[in-house]
């Protein structure tokens, strides 16, 4: 299959380049400029040309686009790469805050304020190094030239932990400019997700300046973290705002056989670890229960697990047959899942671009193209519909 062959060539190029990088101290070499073929895939509803724009990403996490046309891609180690015209400029943003880079923790998502044109605020989620380890934090800042300036931490989740498991995190804004962000339950302590007294295993909601909205569900509950919007979430690494229907979709990296898509609604409990369709990755039984009163059911769970991460909803006219679909990056299964929804109901899905790499995020650009970033293969790809 041409796709497989091309990917193979691409991987060899990447490995060669990486090998050279280790042996030389020079900044570039000829392999750096290897031309990578694009290739077409005949999917169920569109023929898609996959353009490989970059092959050297290291643990990418988030991406966004500035109104001036520049595209920003975060790497977990704490870098923000600047692309222009679908090409890496060679520049990275300066002044990025230090991150607690351990396992799944580090620099995570990046999003523009919906009114960025007027206010210039850009938001990042990151694992902030603090006393006791790292804490998922939301910062806003502005960009001057290639620098991140006027940095303000809006919220720092508690408590800090030494490790790096299950930090989330994604940022979205809704139609009223409320900011929602996801935060994982830290892995070793799944019960975090069921108490309102800490920040972990939750979706949070704040104002765009970090204030707590007075209509958040638990603001009047003694001892509760007031930014909590939902709880009982394991490691929601994907969060999508469906503007047309004013819905929020949470993509939750679950236990083995228990990855979920959840409709995220105010004050609800999504069950982890009291109920789940999965088992431990060591095949241990977490709970026999899949249903409990007062706990939400996912609209879909994946068995076997695909290890879902970042996702987007297709609103672009460039992919008319995909409109309204969720595109979900799969880490373990190394594809993009195109999920068809009928309102709030899961209809079915198609696996796209099998073996492209561990897909960390999928996003739609302001001009309507779908991009994705991958781990291990280190790719930034652009999906160009051919028909
Ligand atoms: Ca659940």
Does 219 have pLDDT greater than 50? yes
Contact at 8 Å (CB) between 236 and 251? yes
Question: Residue 188 Cα, ligand 1 centroid: separation in angstroms?
Answer: 17
Question: Residue 23 Cα, ligand 1 centroid: separation in angstroms?
Answer: 47
pLDDT-based confidence at residue 37 (cuts at 50, 70, 90): low
Residues 6+ apart with CB under 8 A from 342: none
Q: Using DSSP bridges, classify how beta strands 380-385 and 47-54 pair: parallel, antiparallel or unpaired.
A: antiparallel
- The DSSP call for residue 321 is G
pTM of the entire predicted model: 0.91
Mean of pLDDT values over 187-191: 95
First-to-last CA distance in the chain? 20
| Confidence at residue 12, expressed as pLDDT on a 0 to 100 scale | 38
Question: Residue 275 Cα, ligand 1 centroid: separation in angstroms?
Answer: 7
Does 311 have pLDDT greater than 50? yes
Question: Residue 233 Cα, ligand 1 centroid: separation in angstroms?
Answer: 6
Question: Residue 214 Cα, ligand 1 centroid: separation in angstroms?
Answer: 26
Mean of pLDDT values over 359-378: 98
Question: Residue 352 Cα, ligand 1 centroid: separation in angstroms?
Answer: 25
Does 8 have pLDDT greater than 50? no
Question: Residue 301 Cα, ligand 1 centroid: separation in angstroms?
Answer: 9
Contact at 8 Å (CB) between 139 and 155? no
Question: Residue 278 Cα, ligand 1 centroid: separation in angstroms?
Answer: 10
CATH number for the region 2-27+36-385 comes to: 2.120.10.30
pLDDT-based confidence at residue 16 (cuts at 50, 70, 90): very low
Does 116 have pLDDT greater than 90? yes
Contact at 8 Å (CB) between 308 and 330? yes
Question: Residue 136 Cα, ligand 1 centroid: separation in angstroms?
Answer: 21
Cα angle value 98/82/108 (rounded, 5°) = 40
Active site residue 166: yes
| Confidence at residue 31, expressed as pLDDT on a 0 to 100 scale | 41
Rg of the Cα atoms in the chain: 20
Q: Is 309 exposed, middle or buried (0-12, 13-18, 19+ CB in 10 A)?
A: buried
Q: Which of 100, 166, 204, 253 is catalytic?
A: 166
Does 292 have pLDDT greater than 90? yes
Please report the DSSP string for 4-29 in residue order. HHHHHHHHHHHHHHHHHHHH--SS--
């Amino acid at each position: 299959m041409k796709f497989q062959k091309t990917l193979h060539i691409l991987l060899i190029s990447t490995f060669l380049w990486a090998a050279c990088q280790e042996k030389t101290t020079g900044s570039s070499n000829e392999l750096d400029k290897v031309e990578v073929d694009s290739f077409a895939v005949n999917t169920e509803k569109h023929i898609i040309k996959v353009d490989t724009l970059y092959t050297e990403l290291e643990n990418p996490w988030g991406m966004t686009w500035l109104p001036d046309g520049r595209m920003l891609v975060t790497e977990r180690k704490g870098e923000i790469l600047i692309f222009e015209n679908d090409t890496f400029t060679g520049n990275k943003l300066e002044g990025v805050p230090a991150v607690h880079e351990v396992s799944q923790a580090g620099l995570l998502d990046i999003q523009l304020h919906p009114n960025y044109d007027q206010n210039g605020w850009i938001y990042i989620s990151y694992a902030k190094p603090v006393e006791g380890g790292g804490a998922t934090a939301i910062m806003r800042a502005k960009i001057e030239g290639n620098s991140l300036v006027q940095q303000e931490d809006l919220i720092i989740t508690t408590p800090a932990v030494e490790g790096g498991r299950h930090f989330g995190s994604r940022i979205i804004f809704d139609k009223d400019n409320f900011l929602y962000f996801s935060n994982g339950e830290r892995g070793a302590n799944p019960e975090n997700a069921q108490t309102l007294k800490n920040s972990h295993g939750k979706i949070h909601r704040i104002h765009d300046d970090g204030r707590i909205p007075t209509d958040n569900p638990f603001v009047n509950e003694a001892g509760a973290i007031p930014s909590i919007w939902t709880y009982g979430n394991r490691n929601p690494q994907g969060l999508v705002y469906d503007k047309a229907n004013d819905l929020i979709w949470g993509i939750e990296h679950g236990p083995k056989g228990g990855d979920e898509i959840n409709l995220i609604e105010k004050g609800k409990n999504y069950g982890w670890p009291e109920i789940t369709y999965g088992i431990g990755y060591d095949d241990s039984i977490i709970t026999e229960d899949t249903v409990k009163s007062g706990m939400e059911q996912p609209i879909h769970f994946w068995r076997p697990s695909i290890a879902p991460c970042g996702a987007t909803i297709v609103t672009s006219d460039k992919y008319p047959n995909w409109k309204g679909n969720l595109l979900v990056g799969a880490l373990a299964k190394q594809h993009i899942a195109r999920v068809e929804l009928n309102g709030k109901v899961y209809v079915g899905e198609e696996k796209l671009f099998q073996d492209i790499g561990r897909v960390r995020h999928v996003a739609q650009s302001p001009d309507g193209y779908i991009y994705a970033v991958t781990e291990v293969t280190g790719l930034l790809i652009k999906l160009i519909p051919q028909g």
